[in-house]
Amino acid sequence: MASTSLSDKFHFFEEDVSQIDLPEKFTFPFSYQAHPLAITAAKQVQRYLESSFENNHNFGLDPDQEGLIIGKMFGVLVIRNQVGQLGFLAAYSGKLDQGDQLPYFVPPVFDVFEKGNFYRVEEVNISALNSEIESIEKNTSFQALQNVFQESKDQSAREIEDQKEAIRQSRKERKERKTEALESLSTEEAKRIIDETIKESLKQKYELRVLQENWQNKIDELEKELEPFLFKIEQLKEERKSRSNKLQKQLFENYTFLNAHQEEQSLLTIFIENLGITPPAGAGECAAPKLLQFAYSNDLKPVTMLEFWWGASPKSEIRKHKEYYPACNSKCGPILGFMLDGLEVDENPMKNNPAEGKELEIIFEDESIIVINKPADFLSVPGRFVKDSVQTRIRKKYPDAFLVHRLDQGTSGIILLAKNHEVYVKLQRQFTGRTVSKKYVAILDGLLKEKEGFIDLPLRVDLENRPFQLVCYEHGKPAKTKYEVISEENGKTRIHFYPITGRTHQLRVHAAHPSGLNTPIVGDDLYGKSADRLHLHAAHLEFTHPTTGERVNFTKKEEF
């Protein structure tokens, strides 16, 4: 096993960083501007990965490399050691190749691959149970019995249904005979016919009951023969389930994390006891917890950190090679919430009101509707931390007003409001019926080969990392966009988007995803690189006026 000593993990900067000012506070990991020190460290790690890294893991960067392609998130943590020297630690999320620890990177919080630990021992026991279950299921006698049993059930079902159908047909014939007898025969003769039909009915019911009982007896006999096999399989599965649950709990207890106060909590405490939820798969395996855990365990002072993606993008998420990303919310949110306690951390930027000092421009207003030009970085509706929004401001003047649709916080442009619920319903029908025409202007961070086209990528929310959206063909909702290139300048592309559907982050994902345009919108801090603002503007909106019935349209030019 590779050494986990501090000397292997503490890396000095290859470049002179003495002129870079240290940050006043530690990085808020879920939304940040990468600090120059962290960027310098990340680039040094990337050079190492490009030139000196020896591993069989296939990141998808070498087209000739075999094996499953899995890109990875890497992280760097700039730290000071016990004597005040500045350096950094590096880590990767999850595991690489066969799970062996690598000298350059900090170890996992808990190493499930360590020989002799409880996880490896119990994993062998559970694997043995799986093998025993598989051996029984593949037993030729068991398989032959199962086949006979299933064939008997199928045949019995067919024969019983055929008999029931014959009874139904006979019932119709008997009814016709009784009707004809009552109409054309004497009372005595008609009574004889009716008695005959009753006997026939009773006979058929008896025959059906005998058939059902015979088949049930045969199936019961086959079940008795199968029972020893099935009982053993069920017994083994119950034991496997019990062992797996105990192992999972033990694992949660052994994944223990420190904070800056040197206090300790386990995954069990952080998720199950504190939040009442089961830890997500892979919780504690991300780069950020690994880095902080190693720093706290070795008396190293965290200064700043960042995470970057290395390798090919996954099919569903948007991850660009070498780009910086925030920590994930579902796995890392609760863990880092504990681990950062005791550090002076940058304030969550989501708590700042981006609309402070900005005004809403009313483009048009009448007795039914209000058309507004929303500034960039202005919420459409109240958020978790900030309540100031288009909706709250308009409702101060018009308490019954409704937002008919929304724009992302970073998106500027035309947004429509109804002054009452009746108007809102009429306008909503137009949006859901797709009779509203919309045009957006965006600047993409790159050039496109195709000057116009159509994007069809279904979307759903990333349940483990809201508010990110995923491309998902199984559970995603249809999302369709037309586009046309307007101009190109300085390696950037000005483009018009015509969304046919209106999914959350639709244009941003369709622009950035490899199966879309593979070119993110300038300033997209979720799916691309942050800038002064998100260069996306709702420039044109056309719909049928809910009161006059006339087709109306509004245009507002972008300011970028």
Length of the chain: 560
pLDDT computed for residue 541 by the predictor:
97
The model's pLDDT over 91-140, given as tens digits with 9 standing for 90+, comes to 999 998 777 788 999 999 988 877 778 888 898 999 999 999 999 999 99
The SS3 call for residue 499 is strand
What DSSP letter does each residue of 522-557 carry, written as one string?
Answer: TT-TTTS---SS--EEEEEEEEE-TTT--EEEEE--
Cβ-based neighbour number of residue 79 at 10 Å = 26
Any idea what DSSP says for residue 560? Answer: -
Instruction: Please tell me the distance from the alpha carbon of residue 495 to that of residue 512, in angstroms, as a whole number.
Output: 13
Handedness of CA 10, 16, 18, 20 (dihedral sign): negative
The residues spanned by each domain of the chain are 6-72+81-110+255-304+322-350, 134-243, 352-555
* Residue 504, token pair as written in the block: 């959350």
Q: Do the beta carbons of residue 507 and residue 497 sit within 8 Å?
A: yes
**Residues marked as catalytic:** 408
Nearest alpha-carbon partner for 505 in 526, 529, 484, 476: 526
Instruction: Please tell me the distance from the alpha carbon of residue 334 to that of residue 341, in angstroms, as a whole number.
Output: 11
The CATH number assigned to the domain with range 352-555 reads 3.30.2350.10
* Residue 245, token pair as written in the block: 């649950």
Asked whether residue 1 carries a pLDDT value surpassing 60, the answer given is no
Instruction: Please tell me the distance from the alpha carbon of residue 340 to that of residue 293, in angstroms, as a whole number.
Output: 10
CA angle 355, 360, 363 (to 5 degrees): 155
The SS3 call for residue 486 is strand
Task: Read off the pLDDT of each residue in 381-391 and give the average, rounded to a whole number.
Answer: 92
CA angle 120, 125, 130 (to 5 degrees): 120
Residue type, 472: C
The SS3 call for residue 543 is strand
Asked whether residue 282 carries a pLDDT value surpassing 50, the answer given is yes
**Residue 2 pLDDT grade (very low, low, confident, very high; cuts 50, 70, 90):** very low
Task: Read off the pLDDT of each residue in 491-502 and give the average, rounded to a whole number.
Answer: 96
Per-chain mean pLDDT for the chain: 93
Taking only Cα atoms into account, the Rg of the chain, rounded to an integer number of angstroms, comes to 34
Instruction: Please tell me the distance from the alpha carbon of residue 88 to that of residue 13, in angstroms, as a whole number.
Output: 8
**Residue 4 pLDDT grade (very low, low, confident, very high; cuts 50, 70, 90):** low
Q: At what angle do helices 187-254 and 140-184 cross, to 10 degrees?
A: 150
The model's pLDDT over 219-261, given as tens digits with 9 standing for 90+, comes to 999 999 999 999 999 999 999 999 999 998 988 988 999 999 9
**Residue 66 pLDDT grade (very low, low, confident, very high; cuts 50, 70, 90):** confident
Beta bridge partners of 536: 442
End-to-end CA distance of the chain: 55
Any idea what DSSP says for residue 272? Answer: I
Instruction: Please tell me the distance from the alpha carbon of residue 191 to that of residue 177, in angstroms, as a whole number.
Output: 11
Which of 50-54, 321-325, 478-482 shows the lowest per-residue confidence on average (mean pLDDT)?
Answer: 50-54
Q: Do the beta carbons of residue 260 and residue 341 sit within 8 Å?
A: yes
Q: Do the beta carbons of residue 127 and residue 137 sit within 8 Å?
A: no
Q: Do the beta carbons of residue 13 and residue 78 sit within 8 Å?
A: no
CA angle 79, 81, 86 (to 5 degrees): 55
- CB half-sphere exposure, 92, CA atoms < 13 A: 23
The SS3 call for residue 535 is coil
